[in-house]
Amino acid sequence: MKKKKRQHILTKTQIISAIVLVLIMVVVNIVAHLRPRGEEIIEDEEIEDVSYALQTTRLFAFDPNTADSLTLLELGLRPWQIKNMMKYRAKGGRYRQPDDFRKLYGMTDSAFAALKPYIRIDSTAWIARRDSLRQLRHERDSLRHVADSLRRDSIYSSRGYIVKRDTIIELNSADTTTLQYIRGIGIYTAKAIIYYRNQLGGYVSPQQIREIKQLQDYKVNFDSIVPRLRAESDSVARLRVNYIGVERLQRHPYLSFTQAKAIYELRRNKFYLKSIDELRSLPCLTEEDIKRLEPYLSFEK
């Protein structure tokens, strides 16, 4: 007799269990290897990109609290890093010491080590700003008190208009109401004087109101107004040439874009400028330009 062959047959339950086990192993393998590897590649590419940019850039001194986007681009930072910095500063954020700059997203140890020697942070700026704000509030309250006294003495309550007086007004602390106590100055002229004062950073001479284009077109009688004004130049806000960029420089009425860029390039090439005498080497600046700019520029290191 022939022997019957022994047959090994899996049950239906065993077949289903085997299939499920294989599927689980495939899913685990995909989750474990696919996504993390992609994230590591992207992060490495970003870091290599930043490090390469810094290696190919000539570095120079900068203040991360005041540097503009053009300056940061020239230092080798990427646009997305600069965008994050600007948002941080716009919300009141401040870098109080060089090591704080290391926290910038995408900043590697090697990139920070290259930039750190060039970081110049004015640690007293926020204190000075706080004190100046307190002083401004005090001056504002004092001026309001003076203005109220003048208003009581000089305005006819029944008619509601200001009586002009032959008085001397300080340009850098007066508001539009105070300026109108001078004969020849109305609300339009007063607003133009205040607006130009803000652009300049303050007046160093009453003669500067003759430069206001709106008042020239309005044919204001400067000869009768100027003698009634005085300017205390100690309160003038100066531009810190060694820390600001082209955008901030060109906003001053005495500087064009070409002149602002020339000053910026000169400062960058020399690392920092010591005095206004160094600007005399620039062909785009005349001696008259330098004389006008001198009260408004600061060359502190």
Give residue limits of the domains in the chain.
11-123, 125-235, 239-298
- pTM for this model (two decimals): 0.49
Give the separation between CA 274 and CA 179, rounded to whole angstroms: 38
8 A C-beta contact, residue 165 and residue 194: no
Q: Residues near 282 by Cβ (< 8 Å), separated by ≥ 6?
A: 259, 262, 263, 266
φ, ψ for residue 198, nearest 5 deg: -65, -35
Nearest CA-CA partner of 226 in 183, 195, 178? 183
Q: Tens-of-pLDDT digits for all 301 residues of the chain?
A: 445 555 556 677 777 777 877 788 877 777 666 654 444 444 444 555 555 556 556 788 888 888 888 888 888 888 888 888 888 888 878 888 888 888 888 888 888 888 888 888 876 655 555 566 666 676 677 666 655 554 544 443 344 556 566 788 999 999 999 998 888 888 999 999 999 999 999 999 999 999 999 888 888 889 989 999 999 888 899 999 999 899 999 999 999 999 999 999 999 998 889 999 999 999 999 999 999 999 999 998 7
CA dist 122 and 291 (Å) reads: 27
